[in-house]
Amino acid sequence: MPDTSAIDRIRAALARRAPQLQRPEGEVRWAAVALVLAPDGAGELDALLIRRAEQEGDPWSGHVALPGGRHEPDDPDLFTTACRETHEEVGLDLSRGEYVGQLDDLHPTRGLRPPIVVRPYVFALGGRPRLRLSWEVAGLLWTPLELLLGERVPARISHAGREREVPAVPLGEDLLWGMTLRILDGLAERLDRAG
C-alpha cells in the first residue's frame, strides 16, 4: 500500500473529525461511492474518475463521477455497496487497496424522488491496476488529485432540460461538476483545516 506523505495527510485529515452522516426521515434511497487514489509515478496522487455511459432515464447519464452506486438489499452496509459497485463498474477489488477514511454524506441539490443520500469512502492503491469497464461506464479518467482539489471555474451546462451556470473543473472534453465535485470539495475542506 502507498505510504506517501499525501496519503498520510489525507488519512490524518479524515481522522480529525467523524464524518457527518445524514439521518433522513421517510423514504430514501442510499448509495455509496469510492474515491480511489493511486500514485501517478511522479510522486503525486491521481484519482479514479469514470465517465458514465449515456442511458435514458439516468439523471447522471454521461457525467464524470466516482465509481459507485445504489445500495442493494443484499449489501450489509454502505461500505460493501461502494466496494461491490466499484468492482461491478470497473473490475477493481478494493480489498487489495487500503481503506483511508470516510467523507460526509451528501444528497443531490436538485430534488430527486425518492430522495437519495450518497456516502463517499476513500481508498488508496499502491499503483494503477488494469481495469475492465462494465456497460455502465463509457471511460476512465485518472486525474491529478491536485487539479481536482484546485480552482473551480464557472461553466454553463444543460441538465434536466435547463441551462444553468455551475462551478466546475474542466477535464479536456469532459467537465466535472455537481455532487462529485462537492465530494471533492469536502476532502479539500478537510485538508485545509488540517493545515
Find residue 111's DSSP bridge partners.
Answer: none
Give the residue numbers spanning the domain of 156. Answer: 5-194
Q: What is the pLDDT of residue 143?
A: 97
Q: What is the pLDDT of residue 108?
A: 76
Q: What is the pLDDT of residue 41?
A: 84
How many CB atoms neighbour CB 191 within 10 A?
17
pLDDT digits (tens, 9 = 90+) for 62-118: 899 999 999 999 999 999 999 999 999 999 999 999 999 999 999 876 656 678 899
- In this structure, of 53-62, 78-87, 183-192, the range with the lowest mean pLDDT score is 53-62
Question: Which residue carries 480489498 as its cell?
Answer: 95
Number of domains in the chain: 1
Q: What is the CATH number of the domain that holds 99?
A: 3.90.79.10
Q: Spell out a b/e string for 64-86, using b for 16 or more CB atoms within 10 Å of the CB, else e.
A: bbbbbbebeeebeebbebbbbbb
DSSP states of 75-142 as a string?
Answer: -SSHHHHHHHHHHHHH---GGGSEEEEE---B--SSPPSS-EEEEEEEEE-SSPPP----TTEEEEEE
Whole-prediction pTM value? 0.92
